[in-house]
A = this chain, B = another copy of it.
Amino acid sequence: MSVQHTVNVELGARSYPIVIGQGLLGGGYDLASYVAGPDCLIVTNDTVAPLYIEALEASLRDRTSTSISLPDGEAHKTLSTMASILDALVTAGASRDTTVIALGGGVVGDIAGFAAASYMRGVDFVQVPTTLLAQVDSSVGGKTGVNHEQGKNLIGAFHQPGFVCIDTDTLSTLPDRELKAGLAEVIKYGAIADIAFFEWLERNMDALAARDPAALAHAIRRSCELKAAVVAADERERGRRAILNFGHTFGHAIERCQGYGQWLHGEAVAAGMVMAATLSDIDAADVARIRDLVTRAGLPVAPPAIGASKLRQAMALDKKVQRKQLRFVLLPKLGEAIVTSEYSEAKLDRLLAAAA
């Protein structure tokens, strides 16, 4: 059996472990120990189900499980898809001691988590992320939700999982484009919180893009550690947690303007990070370092041609807005981030003009 790492998310009574390793599904890990009641509902999608649902079910031993498979993709991350999960819970006769298990990427995890938060005002939830993006970011920290036509993740809940099971073997079936999208969030952690990790990424980006297992395992573990620390300090994003949104104010607006699913979330965040770095008060050389990493990860460094005014309008519904004032996550220096409403309007105009 290969090495397993555990990262704990410290949230008092809501603390939980993230277990990272190979071969966890299908017998390598006792998932049933995180299903307190007699039954669970597996939420997955049409791409992931044929690959991993049998292995997951085998890990659940004597627990009764039913499953619902959602159509794949960000375009389906809606309130009506969430309602279909609630219907499945009702049909299965689920009760307060039922556990919802998300098997898939960020979209599956976000919708399933919101359904788990809302069914009977909250049932247990387990994350089994199968994409790099979900493993390093969305499965950890309890943000759940769906998109509104007018804005990304506008509807949702904070609902922590009781367990996150990251089987790195699942990355073997991940399409290249999705792997790259996940690397955007990995770069983010280095840029906002850990210059040493950023430098490690500069040395190892080629290995990561080539799917070197040891490099991926380290990147996942370090990303989870960095995220867990930020979440533990500010679970409900009253302050510091917002730094995890570096690149996301632009990124969410890009996703929304293009139509959800045109660019992957990680692609939009990649371009958004380069924009946010440019808006920051750091050396051009440091902006270039971020741009280079993004480029080496095979990700876009600029927004698509969607129109500057449309992009600005979409940003107005960002969740960081306070008293009608936009706020951005900016870098006072590479490896550190702040949330601020102080930025150069002229610079912002020039950045948005690139989308014209």
Interface centre among A83, A118, A145, A316 (most CB of B within 10 A): A118
Contact string against B for A residues 124-159, beta-carbon threshold 8 Å, 1 for contact and 0 otherwise: 000000000000000000010100101100111110
Q: Are B93 and A83 in contact (CB under 8 A)?
A: no
Check A322/B95 contact, CB under 8 A, given A148-B90, A151-B90. yes
CB of A226 to closest CB in B, whole Å? 21
- B residues near A157, Cβ cutoff 8 Å: 117-118, 121-122, 157
Closest residue of chain B to A78 (Cβ to Cβ) is B83
Contact-residue bracket for chain A: 35 or more
- B residues near A156, Cβ cutoff 8 Å: 118, 120-121
A75 within 8 A of B: no
- B residues near A324, Cβ cutoff 8 Å: 38, 93, 95
Contact string against B for A residues 70-87, beta-carbon threshold 8 Å, 1 for contact and 0 otherwise: 000000000100010011
Check A90/B154 contact, CB under 8 A, given A79-B79, A323-B37, A323-B38. yes
Check A317/B38 contact, CB under 8 A, given A95-B322, A117-B157, A119-B155. no
Check A322/B97 contact, CB under 8 A, given A79-B79, A83-B79, A86-B155. yes
A321 within 8 A of B: yes
Interface centre among A79, A86, A95, A150 (most CB of B within 10 A): A95
A177 within 8 A of B: no
Q: Are A120 and B154 in contact (CB under 8 A)?
A: yes
A319 within 8 A of B: yes
A236 within 8 A of B: yes
A96 within 8 A of B: yes
Q: Which residues of A contact B (CB under 8 A)?
A: 37-38, 79, 83, 86-87, 90, 93, 95-97, 117-122, 143, 145, 148, 150-151, 154-158, 236-237, 316-317, 319-324
The 4 closest A-B pairs by CB, nearest first: A95-B321, A90-B150, A120-B319, A121-B156
